Amino acid sequence: MDHVDRGHTNPDNPAARRNRFTRSNELQARLHDLVPGGAHTYARGPDQYPEFMAPILVRGEGCRVWDADGNCYIEYGMGLRSVTLGHAYRPVLEAVTRAIADGVSFSRPTELELLAAQDFLSLVPGADMVKFAKNGSDATTAAVRLARAVTGRTVIAVCDQPFFSVDDWFIGTTPMASGIPTEAAAGTMKFQYNDLPSLAAVLNTGVVAAVVMEAATALNEPAPGFLEGVRELCDRHRTLLIFDEMITGFRWSSGGAQAIYEVTPDLSCWGKAMGNGFPISALAGKREFMELGGLRTDRDRVFLLSTTHGAESASLAAFRAVAHEYTTGDPIARMEHAGRLLADGVNAIAADLGIADYLQVLGRPSCLIFVTRDPEGRPSQEFRTLLLQELLDRGVLGQSFVTSAAHTEPDIDRTIAACREAASVYRKAIEQGTVDGLLEGRPVAPALRRKAEPRRIDSVPE
């Protein structure tokens, strides 16, 4: 049975398009009444999708998801990059089922915590100790706190990359800084990726406790010598180097970006794909620093991480099952293979249609994004929304083209076929110079923005 075509309607009929999401729109309206923003994660908000075309999902399997209206999609993005093995991956679910049958949360550590720590440290080079938590932000903020204690300094240098934490020290630097004291943001300075002089200028102030950065991103690989230069600058200024491995961990390699580029940070922060969707994060690092949060130090102790659910058995069992898959198989090779096929296929379509300057798939094969530009070659939310709309109509869901090991060649072929039809509509918009008459509703908006406009929610149509 071809699930991809289930629920498909005529994309040229706006009424049919909106009716296809009747139940999802009803549920979304109720969510807005009970949950600020209509979602518990800003990146999952309906303002990130075409208006009245934001599916409310009910289940997933492999690389497919089903919504409340019975529509089925090939999904990309995979749980905001947290799912690498596929939804409802059987070995992970079986490991979790076995673990929770014996209880989930206890008043003392379990052997599972030791086994999971051993598994983690066997994968991550240069880390001597690890502490588990639930959210990436918790791990990153704990690393910042630890760096401040180690150095006696307070300022944090962050790379000009999208996101590091929900906590004040970082969110205070974004447009969504309401409620955050100005002094919190003042303690964070920025430098540019692949620009050692910009980092040197920040470190020369002598007040920086830690450098926080992703070693690489979907669109940016480190220039030769850059990461080595960052390491040397941090050593020279006695500043701790913290790698954010939330995305690169288990997508670049099981040992993260640090294993690929062979530069070891003092501390590293992990999450997302560690549990194939189960909530788990980790702070890992060198013993001399991590022990400040323990009981084998004469220095003032650091309140490192202490969470009720940090070591619950379900997520630790999920992590161990994920680690097993990575040590016995090669899921990264499968997701990269799917990504290369998809990028090559869509970029070839754009070239055939003469719109390669306006529609592109870019990035590391395991972490692809699509770039949408208007007729003047400027990045465009309107044209991005048009592409999302047309892909949704054809059974493809995703704010990106992030693949998993569950994406097969037939899945990629179907996606490319959907992209060919969507790209034809995109070309029409480029030729007419506007999305008017093609895009229904308001365009998407940045998730982190100061005002609810341009996607403020008042009500939904009857």
Three-state SS string over 351-375 comes to: HHCCCCCCEEEEEECCEEEEEEECC
Residue 458: per-residue pLDDT:
83
CB atoms within 10 A of CB 2: 9
Q: Can you list the residues of the chain whose pLDDT is less than 70? A: 1-19, 459-462
Q: b/e map of 377-404 (b: 16 or more CB within 10 Å)? A: eeebebbbbbbbbbbbbbbbbbbbbbbb
Q: How far apart are the first and last CA of the chain?
A: 34
Residue 94's contacts (CB-CB under 8 Å, 6 or more residues apart) are: 321
pLDDT of residue 8: 54
| Residue 182 to residue 49: CA distance in whole angstroms | 32
Angle between helices 409-432 and 331-352 (to 10 degrees): 30
Which residues have C-beta within 8 Å of that of residue 229, sequence separation ≥ 6? 196
Q: Residue 125 has what pLDDT?
A: 85
